[in-house]
């Protein structure tokens, strides 16, 4: 027995306790790592705000392909070509440049700021396009089409409507995550920065969205066979 007044030395943790302690600390470490992910655009943005022409051109050169793919995915071939989506993408680039001087970093990724602008521009396009479609006009093709062209365009339109109907069943967040990951081609980390989500949340959202699409497709196939 230890002498009176002598402190009893604590027994070292068992192997099982040490393992549980290590596993419990891992999510916290991962969470801190996710929060500490630097914004890859931060330096370019600050230089562009200061008027550095090279930084402005470099920033737009990096952002424009992402913006174009995002707009094409969200707008599609609404007017038979991607021209409208590309026009919206150009408007987004101009709006990003115009907003640079007033942009203040809040710790979130600059991509989230850019996609916020893109989302508003896309919504404006859909509102304008809906109004224009409600006004009947003569549908005169600009060029002569081949005999197979109408059938091909009809098949493409039907396929686009089916895909659109499936995506409409997803939540806004699921749609955005799939668009950024599978169409725009962003990594999980870039998607997390653009949507202000954690890496784990992006992965879970993508998994659930794809699982829901698979179930919807399976249900439609069963319905078609009945």
Q: What is the CATH number of domain 149-225?
A: 1.10.10.10
Provide long-range contacts, Cβ within 8 A and 24+ apart, for 33-36.
34/192, 34/198, 34/199, 34/200
Task: Look up residue 50 and give its two tokens.
Answer: 């200061």
Residue 7's contacts (CB-CB under 8 Å, 6 or more residues apart) are none
Q: What is the reported pLDDT for 200?
A: 94
Q: Residue 78: what pLDDT?
A: 52
Distance CA 224, CA 84 (A): 34
| Confidence (pLDDT) at 208 | 94
**CATH number attached to the domain at 39-132:** 1.10.1740.10
Q: What is the pLDDT of residue 72?
A: 85
Using 70 as the pLDDT threshold, list the residues of the chain that sit under it: 1-37, 76-82, 132-164, 222-226
Domain with CATH 1.10.10.10 in the chain: 149-225
Say whether pTM exceeds 0.75: no
Per-residue confidence (pLDDT) for residue 105, from 0 to 100: 81
Buried/exposed code over 46-85 (b: 16+ C-beta within 10 A; e: otherwise) = ebbbeeeeebbeebbeebeebbbbbbbbbbeebeeebebb
For residue 88, the model assigns a pLDDT of 92
Say what the pLDDT of residue 190 is: 84
Ranges for all domains in the chain classified under CATH 1.10.1740.10 = 39-132
DSSP for 15-51 reads: HHHHHHHHHHHHHHHHHHHHHTPPPTTHHHHHHHHTT
Q: What does the pLDDT read at residue 218?
A: 84
> Are the C-beta atoms of 193 and 186 separated by less than 8 Å?
no
pLDDT for residue 138: 38
Residue 7 confidence (pLDDT): 53
């Amino acid at each position: 027995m230890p002498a009176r007044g002598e402190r009893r030395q604590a027994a070292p943790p068992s192997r099982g306790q040490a393992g549980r302690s290590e596993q419990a600390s891992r999510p916290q470490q991962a969470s801190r790592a996710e929060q500490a992910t630097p914004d890859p655009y931060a330096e370019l943005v600050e230089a562009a705000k200061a008027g550095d022409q090279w930084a402005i051109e470099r920033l737009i050169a990096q952002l424009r392909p992402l913006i174009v793919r995002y707009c094409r995915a969200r707008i599609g071939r609404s007017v038979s070509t991607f021209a409208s989506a590309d026009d919206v993408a150009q408007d987004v680039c101009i709006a990003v440049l115009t907003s640079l001087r007033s942009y203040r970093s809040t710790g979130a990724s600059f991509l989230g700021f850019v996609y916020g602008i893109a989302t508003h521009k896309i919504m404006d396009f859909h509102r304008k396009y809906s109004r224009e479609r409600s006004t009947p006009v003569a549908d005169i093709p600009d060029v002569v089409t081949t005999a197979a062209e109408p059938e091909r365009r009809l098949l493409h339109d039907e396929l686009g409507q089916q895909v659109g109907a499936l995506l409409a069943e997803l939540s806004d967040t699921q749609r955005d995550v799939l668009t950024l990951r599978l169409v725009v081609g962003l990594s999980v980390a870039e998607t997390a920065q653009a949507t202000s989500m954690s890496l784990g949340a992006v992965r879970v959202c993508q998994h659930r969205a794809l699982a829901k699409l698979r179930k919807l497709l399976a249900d439609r196939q069963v319905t078609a066979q009945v």
